[in-house]
Every structure is written in structure tokens, then in C-alpha cells.
Amino acid sequence: GEDVEQSLFLSVREGDSSVINCTYTDSSSTYLYWYKQEPGAGLQLLTYIFSNMDMKQDQRLTVLLNKKDKHLSLRIADTQTGDSAIYFCAESISTGRRALTFGSGTRLQVQP
């Protein structure tokens, strides 16, 4: 079955880059997502990448996908204290199917 794994915690200093990593098991993943959850809030879609892409950039966010290693990363440039949150990686395994499989989430702590 599908499984998505993430490290639990990352601490960085304000202004540094953050890199949050994710691995997944199902090679038939079609879309991979990054969601952000702030305390008391829902899951905010940050970005997503289609599996035929290697990289996607959106302002301060860069997503890298290594299909061979089944590895996904999210890089946040110039990390700010407002970026402190839990970041979830998720995958869907076929077009038309939206049963996302989520990782456990990585708590990003940004030190001033």
C-alpha cells in the first residue's frame, strides 16, 4: 500500500533556507502535494507537482521531485517566523482518484 514518510521536526534561523523532505513508496504517484497547517487552522495547499516534472518554483517555494528515489522536497527560501507551521507531504496515485495519502507532517520552527 501507499506510505509517505517525513522527518518530524526542523529548526532553522530566520533568513536561512529550509528544506523539508518526504519519501513515498508508490511509484504510480501522479501528483505530490505540500500542505501547511498553522495552529488551529486547516490544511492550506502550498503547491503541488505532477509526476512528470522534476522541479516547480513558486516565489519562495521550490519543489524537487526525484522519481527514481521516490523523494520529494520543499525548499523555502528566506524563511520567516510566519513560516513556522506543520508541513504535510501528500500523494495521489492516479488521475481521477483524490484519496490523498499524507505523511505525518514536519514541524518547522523558525528561530528569530
Partner 1 sequence: EPEVTQTPSHQVTQMGQEVILRCVPISNHLYFYWYRQILGQKVEFLVSFYNNEISEKSEIFDDQFSVERPDGSNFTLKIRSTKLEDSAMYFCASSGSGTQNEKLFFGSGTQLSVL
**Which residues are at the interface with partner 1 (CB under 8 A)?**
4, 31, 33, 35, 40-45, 48, 50, 88, 90, 92, 96-105
Gap between the Cα atoms of 65 and 70, Å rounded: 8
Q: Which residue, 25 or 111, has its beta carbon nearer to partner 1?
A: 25
Q: Which residue, 89 or 110, has its beta carbon nearer to partner 1?
A: 89
Could you tell me the smallest distance in angstroms from the CB atom of residue 33 to partner 1? 8
Phi, psi torsion values for 107, nearest 5 degrees: -85, 115
Residue 15 host element (H or E): none
* DSSP class of 93: -
